[in-house]
A and B are shown apart, each in its own frame.
Chain A
Amino acid sequence: DAGVIQSPRHEVTEMGQEVTLRCKPISGHNSLFWYRQTMMRGLELLIYFNNNVPIDDSGMPEDRFSAKMPNASFSTLKIQPSEPRDSAVYFCASSTPGTSTDTQYFGPGTRLTVL
């Protein structure tokens, strides 16, 4: 069974450009989580979805960040416009059935560099 799939694995862009990160959760998982990892702030939860509905987006840093989950097998995290301080590794994770006891499985991450 394939794990969580993220694309692209690496993204280099210039300040002001739009960036879209993609995630395909494990089939059958109905919760999806977006995290950001930096040296300064560690691992931060940005937003999570349950049954395609955003449950908690309090971690989204500002309006430049948006996330969608149009169906159970796909989610996007968009940054528009991007800034150098957005440079980080972005992880997607999924779990089932989305209760506190369930294990989150992480994708390999997208390393974003904003010049």
Chain B
Amino acid sequence: AQSVAQPEDQVNVAEGNPLTVKCTYSVSGNPYLFWYVQYPNRGLQFLLKYITGDNLVKGSYGFEAEFNKSQTSFHLKKPSALVSDSALYFCAVSRPGNTGKLIFGQGTTLQVKP
């Protein structure tokens, strides 16, 4: 069975510092991995995805994520956090032949303080 874990309910960072939001996954076969962000009272917005190729994926708003197959991880990173990055972040996984069904993690709240 597929599953996604986001081990931290909340991550706190100071503005200007690097941030990392962690995600680990469990899936048979090759995973397709996604990050979404949700601002208050809004729908989820796509940030980036890993399908194949380069393990470092660059996405919207300066975010990037690194796929690590041996550690089954797909952590979201940003070199310099902004207060406006404060939001709820979701990691999700699907796999080939699954007709697009995504399994989401429970979400991590990112709080960036000035």
Contacts and interface: CB of A to CB of B under 8 A. Distances in A.
Interface residues of A, number: 25
B89 to A, nearest CB: 12
Interface residues of B, number: 25
Contacts of A99: 99-100
B87 interface: no
B57 interface: no
Interface stretch (A11-19, A42-50, A62-70, A73-81): A42-50
Contacts of B98: 100
Contacts of B46: 103-105
Interface string A77-95: 0000000000000010101
B104 A100 contact: no
Contacts of A34: none
A42 B99 contact: no
Interface string B98-114: 11111111110000000
B86 interface: no
Interface of B is mostly: loop
B75 interface: no
Nearest to A109: B43
B43 A55 contact: no
A7 B96 CA distance: 32
B32 A101 contact: yes
Interface of A: 4, 31, 33, 42-43, 45, 48, 50, 55-56, 91, 93, 95, 98-109
Query: Lowest 9 CB-CB distances: which A-B pairs, in order?
Result: A106-B43, A106-B44, A100-B94, A43-B104, A42-B106, A108-B43, A98-B100, A101-B51, A100-B98
Interface of B: 32, 34, 36, 42-46, 49, 51, 90, 94-107
Given A4-B43, A45-B101, A100-B97, 8 more contacts: A31-B99, A45-B102, A50-B100, A91-B43, A98-B99, A100-B95, A104-B100, A106-B45
